[in-house]
């Protein structure tokens, strides 16, 4: 695939086909989220007297109704009867249907028949269909964090970056779990028409514009809890979250589980692979990250106090150590666009 620049001239009346590939048991939100972004772009462009730039189509192997994962049926055209121009983009959503061998074969044949100039994108586990088509060979890619290891194992020539929300590598786009498809679509609109239009759409959808590849798709504490059947730890983490504003020494955590400090530390490390002290720090950081983005008018000092950092400077040092940026830089890079 060639290295693409903007597909559309912001001042032109060119139209770019956006095809969503449908198959039985496709995830409905993988379709609806990105479609809403492109529809919003069309609406806003019409308001300033421009032609709607995106021709949105649902296509499938055969024309007719396609059942989504939530039971809603959608009407799709046959992809054999749909021509994709060199300005077009094909979006492959995820869903349980990606594991079907017939779906894999039909999507592979269709994607491989497209001209090199056509961009191809995936949402969530739709990346596996791109992989089966050979489109991820030698590429960087991402999928839902639960399936990143499998994507790497199934397609070893792909460089899977599990921390990204979405990745663009040449003419191939991949995105993480479900709602990351909205971030991907916003990035395409911003690439085509600039920051202002994408920001207007993001505000209308009440989402962040700047959730870029540098922002992790899952929290460290969720990663710690993954696969741990012991409900006591989930309860402990919930209690910690409710008491982040307090000092939380390891002795206090041990008391919550009715264990000695030494036994608790051994138990916690054996279950999570990290120390209680580090887990508390991760919870403080995850909460601070959310507050920095969700409450743009709340001062960093106030956030530091609410998250138990015992001072703005300690929070700043923690962020620099973990992310290489200060809290204010994190808010600027990933926060919602200000009006």
- The predicted pLDDT at position 249 comes to 96
Backbone phi and psi for residue 45, each to the nearest 5 degrees, phi listed first: -65, -40
User: pLDDT for 138-194, tens place per residue?
Assistant: 999 999 988 999 999 999 999 998 877 889 999 999 998 878 899 899 999 989 998
- The predicted pLDDT at position 230 comes to 60
Tell which residue, 261, 282, 263, has the closest CA to residue 271: 263
- The predicted pLDDT at position 331 comes to 87
User: pLDDT for 203-229, tens place per residue?
Assistant: 777 655 545 444 555 455 555 554 555
* pLDDT of 4 over the 50 cut: no
Predicted model pTM:
0.65
Neighbouring-strand partners of residue 75: 65
Q: How far apart, in whole angstroms, are the C-alpha atoms of residue 314 and residue 179?
A: 33
- DSSP codes joined into one string, 153-212: HH-TTSEE-TT-SEEEETTEEEE-STTHHHHHHHHHHHHHH-HHHHHHHHHHHT--S---
Neighbours of 105 (CB within 10 A): 13
Q: Is 311 left (phi over 0), alpha (psi -120 to 50) or beta?
A: left
Order of strands, edge to edge, in the sheet holding 16-21? Answer: 64-67, 73-78, 54-60, 16-21, 89-92, 119-122, 172-175, 166-169
Q: How far apart, in whole angstroms, are the C-alpha atoms of residue 36 and residue 295?
A: 25
Evaluate whether 136 touches 105 at the Cβ level (below 8 Å). Answer: no
CA 301 to centroid of chain Cα atoms: 29
Evaluate whether 83 touches 46 at the Cβ level (below 8 Å). Answer: no
Backbone phi and psi for residue 157, each to the nearest 5 degrees, phi listed first: -85, 0
User: How much is the average pLDDT of 54-65?
Assistant: 96
Q: How far apart, in whole angstroms, are the C-alpha atoms of residue 309 and residue 302?
A: 10
User: How much is the average pLDDT of 22-30?
Assistant: 96
* pLDDT of 253 over the 70 cut: yes
Rg of the chain over all Cα atoms, to the nearest angstrom: 23
Tell which residue, 295, 304, 299, has the closest CA to residue 336: 295
User: How much is the average pLDDT of 231-255?
Assistant: 88
Backbone phi and psi for residue 235, each to the nearest 5 degrees, phi listed first: -65, -40
Q: How far apart, in whole angstroms, are the C-alpha atoms of residue 188 and residue 209?
A: 12
List domains and CATH numbers for the chain: 16-205 (3.40.50.880), 220-334 (1.10.10.60)
């Amino acid at each position: 695939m060639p290295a693409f620049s903007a597909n559309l001239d912001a001042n032109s009346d060119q139209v770019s086909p956006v095809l969503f590939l449908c198959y039985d048991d496709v995830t409905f939100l993988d379709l609806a989220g990105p479609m809403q972004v492109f529809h919003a772009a069309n609406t806003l462009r019409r308001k300033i007297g421009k032609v709607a730039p995106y021709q949105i189509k649902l296509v499938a192997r055969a024309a007719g109704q396609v059942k989504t994962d939530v039971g809603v049926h959608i009407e799709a055209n046959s992809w054999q009867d749909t021509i994709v121009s060199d300005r077009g983009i094909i979006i492959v959503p995820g869903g349980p249907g990606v594991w079907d061998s017939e779906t894999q074969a039909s999507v592979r044949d269709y994607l491989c028949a497209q001209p090199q100039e056509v961009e191809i994108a995936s949402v969530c586990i739709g990346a596996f269909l791109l992989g089966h088509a050979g489109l991820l060979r030698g590429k960087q890619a991402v999928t839902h964090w639960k399936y990143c290891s499998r994507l790497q194992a199934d397609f070893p020539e792909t460089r899977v970056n599990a921390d990204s929300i979405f990745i663009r590598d040449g003419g191939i786009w991949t995105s993480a779990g479900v709602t990351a498809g909205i971030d991907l679509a916003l990035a395409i609109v911003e690439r085509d028409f600039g920051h202002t239009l994408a920001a207007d759409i993001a505000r209308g959808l009440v989402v962040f514009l700047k959730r870029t590849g540098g922002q992790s798709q899952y929290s460290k504490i969720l990663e710690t809890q993954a696969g741990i059947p012991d409900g006591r730890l989930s309860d402990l983490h919930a209690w910690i979250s409710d008491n982040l504003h307090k000092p939380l020494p390891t002795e206090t955590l041990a008391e919550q589980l009715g264990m000695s400090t030494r036994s608790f530390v051994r138990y916690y490390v054996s279950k999570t692979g990290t120390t209680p002290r580090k887990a508390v720090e991760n919870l403080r950081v995850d909460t601070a990250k959310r507050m920095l983005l969700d409450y743009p008018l709340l001062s960093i000092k106030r956030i530091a106090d609410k998250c138990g950092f015992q001072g703005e400077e300690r929070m700043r040092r923690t962020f620099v150590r973990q992310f290489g940026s200060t809290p204010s830089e994190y808010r600027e890079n990933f926060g919602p666009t200000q009006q």
